[in-house]
Chain A
């Protein structure tokens, strides 16, 4: 049972009615047109478009991590400078308390303090640098995973959109093919079932020359027979 037949059954209209043909054609065209329009208008999402907020979040984390490293560097520099100044001041105060106020001696004392602390500071900076490297490597690892996933999903979304397009064009192509096929079928049916009203002799009669001739519209009559004569 096809859709048109169902429509005829549901509407209770005579199957042969031309009206049914028109209604189903108009309805079909309208629904098909609407659905195609809807399919074209359906938004095509992309991974990067949907996840803009999260991408900004990741970029923020990245920037913040860089800023945090700088901050740690600055804090350590300030702490060490503060300690150095305190140590130099302590040494000079001690010297002044002993009556040694010579600037040259104070300079020498400060240089000794700085030299003494330089090894410790170098070690401290190395420790911090190592921590920075470890933290940065871990973060890079996480970021690499994130960006790999991002790239993979972006490609996947492009493939999805391509599939949707292909489906749409495939449906259009299928419709076109069906319409063409239906038209061809209608032509074949027309050829196989000609309208006999235009013929005096039906094509079947013409292909059977030995069959008794029948005139269309004339009732068959029994042959004349004389009574008593076989």
Chain B
């Protein structure tokens, strides 16, 4: 009789002790921070790549424009057309053609930047979603742990009372 009572009390004590001391596992925040750092680095990198590409485009286009205009002047001169409204008209056409290249290049660059940042945005949303789920699951586990503890205590109290 006494053995059963001691066994019961020991099991109950161990159960309560276990409930009180068991810790809700922590998720790997270091890995999550690492992921966030990588995502944020991608934003910075994209901005940096875009700025470099934009600057390079401006420089290269400037050189290309100068050469093209010079080539046009040379071609006109080669045809015996010097400093005339005709030559100006022809040069304007060259400027317009160059404008097409310039506009296409700029819009392409801007579009690529938007596509890249949008992809990073998606990664970050996915990251935040995962982090939310981890936090929520941890909160639920804590709640469940406490409920279990109070459930055990309640059972004991009821058994003693009845």
CB distance from A40 to the nearest CB of B (A): 9
Interface string of A91-120 (1 = CB under 8 A from B): 100110110100000000100110011011
A51–B128 Cα distance when bound, in Å, is 9
- Across-interface contacts of A201 in B (CB, < 8 A): none
Q: What is the minimal beta-carbon distance from B89 to any residue of chain A, in angstroms?
A: 8
- How many A-B pairs have beta carbons closer than 8 Å: the answer is 257
**Which residues of A in the span 1-39 have a Cβ within 8 Å of any Cβ on B?**
1-7, 9-10, 24-25, 27-36, 38-39
Q: Confirm or deny: B146 has a beta carbon within 8 angstroms of a beta carbon on chain A.
A: yes
Q: Give a binary string over B147-162; 1 marks a CB under 8 Å from any A CB, 0 the rest.
A: 1011111101111111
Q: Indicate if the CB atoms of B117 and A45 lie closer than 8 Å.
A: no
Taking residues whose C-beta sits less than 8 angstroms from the other chain, chain B's interface range is 35 or more
- Nearest-neighbour CB distance to chain A for B50, whole angstroms, equals 10
- Kindly list chain A residues whose C-beta atoms are within 8 Å of the C-beta of B95: 87, 90-91, 113, 116
Q: CB distance B114 to A113 under 8 Å? A: no
- Interface residues, chain A, with chain B CB atoms under 8 Å away: 1-7, 9-10, 24-25, 27-36, 38-39, 42-45, 47, 50-51, 54-55, 57-58, 61, 64-65, 68-69, 72, 75-76, 79-80, 83-84, 87, 90-91, 94-95, 97-98, 100, 109, 112-113, 116-117, 119-121, 123-125, 127-128, 130-132, 134-136, 138-139, 141-143, 145-146, 149-150, 153, 157, 160, 164, 167, 171, 174-175, 178-179, 182
Residues of chain B at the chain A interface (Cβ within 8 Å): 1-2, 4-6, 8-9, 83-85, 87-88, 91-93, 95-96, 99-100, 102-104, 106-108, 110-115, 117-119, 121-122, 124-126, 128-129, 131-133, 135-136, 139-140, 142-143, 146-147, 149-154, 156-162
